[in-house]
A and B are shown apart, each in its own frame.
Chain A
Amino acid sequence: MSTLTLRLRSPLSQRIDMSPFTPELVAGRQADEVARILLWLGNRQVDAGELFAINGNSTEQIVIQSDSDRLDRIGADMSGGSIRVEGNAGAYLGCGMRDGAIHVSGDVGLAAGCAMRGGRLALDGNAGDFLGGALPGERQGMRGGSIVVKGSAGDRAGDSMRRGMILIAGDCGDYSASRMVAGTMVVLGQCGAHTGTAMRRGSLILTNAPKSLPVTFNDNGRHNLNFLTLLSRGFKDLPAFASLADKGNLVQRWLGDLSCGGKGEILITTPDLA
């Protein structure tokens, strides 16, 4: 597979919109053409070649080498191929992506995977707020695909999520799965306060009780749910999540948010229940 490598030349004073660098947008272009792609840097446009040392051909895979957290909208709206970020990424990583894969070895900023419709997002570090959330003004967040976070996520992870799966190996901030419409989110660490606020449907699967639930969640009792076997079997290639299978199918189930129909569920599988 041919690779196009972009290495950030120097630290940035302003944010860059990286959305022109998706595999399909750079396909068929030579390195010098790629270097002339205009990028928004703050409120002005500059050639990509001024900001990045560019090597390789265009291509199914783009590698971005940067420790900056100011590279926004990496892989936005991409529909195939793959992007590997060696370092950190800014806000709106994979925003609206439809297919393909993005892997980030470091941390990412706000709203990673927001409004994504398909594809795979893998984050080795931590994610900011509104992971898999919605674009401002939109009623639905992530609508398909998967997000796997080895670290922790900020507040409002899975906000307004409609479909797809978010797996978080670490902790989550407050208001996890808030306004969730459907889909599945798994958190192996600790969720903060107000988990599931305004959740309409969907499943939030936890291994620890969250710091607090809204009073509009009802205790549904303990249940053996065999769909959890199907779910955890799908994690066999994700070592961090393989332990979920060992927890068994017996879960404490909470239903809510009753202020929004109450068809959402929070399933808590803990060692003493397994």
Chain B
Amino acid sequence: MIINGTEIEETFAEAFGMSATRVIITAVNLHWARTAGETMTGFATSVIGCGVEAGIEREIPPGETPDGRPGVSVLLFGMSGKALAKQLETRVGQCVLTCPTTAVFAGIEGEKRIPLGKNLRFFGDGYQISKQIGGRRYWRIPVMDGEFLCEESVARVPAVGGGNFLVLAETQEQALIACERAIQAMRRLPNVIMPFPGGIVRSGSKVGSKYKALMASTNDAYCPTLRGLVESNLDDGVGAVLEIVINGLSDQDVANATRTGVSAVCELGAAAGIRRISAGNYGGKLGQFHFHLREVMA
């Protein structure tokens, strides 16, 4: 399959089942809501080292938030419900509770619940106030700028993490421009985040390493500086590869985002130095979800 001169490789992205949640952070203005969201989702690129993968899903206008203030929605993905709950509590406690004027609310419905304000309330040292409004429980925790309003709990739902595609370009600049364009288009979609810095990964990894302590190491087959030394997947014209990793609330969301991203890259096409679109997998044995590029783009 070739789109606008760019080859879509006959391969697939391999993704995993994860546990996800969504919280809504509001503040006096969008600047502070976004600041809290960015802080909370900092150092959340990969579960391997960060415990959780997280990102800002979208900005929410005042008319759509629970308390009528500007807000952002944040998606968090963990490898288990327990890991997700721990990270959520830590991150809300350190990054949202501390951030001026913020409040935090559950942004997703479901039967399985994880604590949001349930334990954070103890910061109130006995002066916290519980309020049940519309069947939901909220905590009002006294803080130095007034009150931190926080919903008691939030649902966690099954989700999909690790969807991806690789952009193989002639130069590093061309690969970056194409990926930036893809991210710009993908960020308009609901239910997905691209957790890596700016949504883009340069250090794709393979499973295992020559060093026993490491469970993953550089994806040498896609490193242009190792061409000629290892069994490379790069032909002569490829000078740089960048990857976009996608986490979504369902496999359909990940597939939609993949299609949107790849389409945005292919609109630039071969004329902009985009040689090929590939994807990362582990032979299909580890992940439950397979996104075959040609099927997604068909």
Contacts and interface: CB of A to CB of B under 8 A. Distances in A.
Contact of B133 (A163, A223, A227, A263): A227
B147 A227 contact: yes
B295 to A, nearest CB: 44
B129 A201 contact: yes
Given A163-B132, A227-B133, A227-B138, A263 B127 contact: yes
Contacts of A230: 66-67, 131, 133-134, 138, 149
Contacts of A263: 127, 129
Main secondary structure of the interface of B (DSSP, over half): strand
A174 B229 CA distance: 89
A227 B127 contact: no
Contacts of B149: 226-227, 230
Nearest to B127: A263
Q: Indicate the size class of the contact surface on chain A.
A: 10 to 19
B103 interface: yes
Interface in B64-122: 66-69, 103
Interface residues of B, number: 18
B208 to A, nearest CB: 51
Interface in B17-49: 26
Contacts of B147: 223, 225-227
Interface string B153-169: 00000000000000000
Interface string A259-273: 000010100000000
A203 interface: yes
A229 interface: yes
Nearest to B151: A230
Contact of A234 (B67, B130, B133, B146): B133
A148 interface: no
Contacts of A203: 129, 131
Nearest to A245: B68
A233 B66 CA distance: 9
A129 B186 CA distance: 60
A212 interface: no
A253 to B, nearest CB: 11
A165 B131 CA distance: 10
A227 B68 contact: no
Contact of A223 (B129, B130, B132, B146): B146
Interface in A141-183: 163-165, 182
Contacts of B275: none
B67 A224 contact: no
A226 B67 contact: yes
A182 B128 CA distance: 12
B287 to A, nearest CB: 40
A231 interface: yes
Nearest to A264: B129
B63 to A, nearest CB: 11
Nearest to B68: A229
Contacts of B132: 163-165
A184 B103 CA distance: 20
Nearest to B103: A226
A63 to B, nearest CB: 28
B140 interface: yes
A233 B62 CA distance: 13
A229 B67 contact: yes
A182 B130 contact: yes
24 contacts: A182-B130, A203-B129, A203-B131, A223-B146, A225-B146, A226-B26, A226-B67, A226-B103, A226-B147, A227-B67, A227-B131, A227-B149, A229-B66, A229-B67, A229-B68, A230-B66, A230-B131, A230-B134, A230-B149, A231-B131, A233-B68, A234-B134, A263-B129, A265-B129
Report, nearest first, the 3 A-B pairs whose CB atoms are least far apart: A229-B67, A226-B67, A234-B134
Given A165-B132, A231-B133, 7 more contacts: A184-B131, A227-B133, A227-B149, A229-B66, A230-B66, A230-B133, A230-B149
Interface of A: 163-165, 182, 184, 201, 203, 223-227, 229-231, 233-234, 263, 265
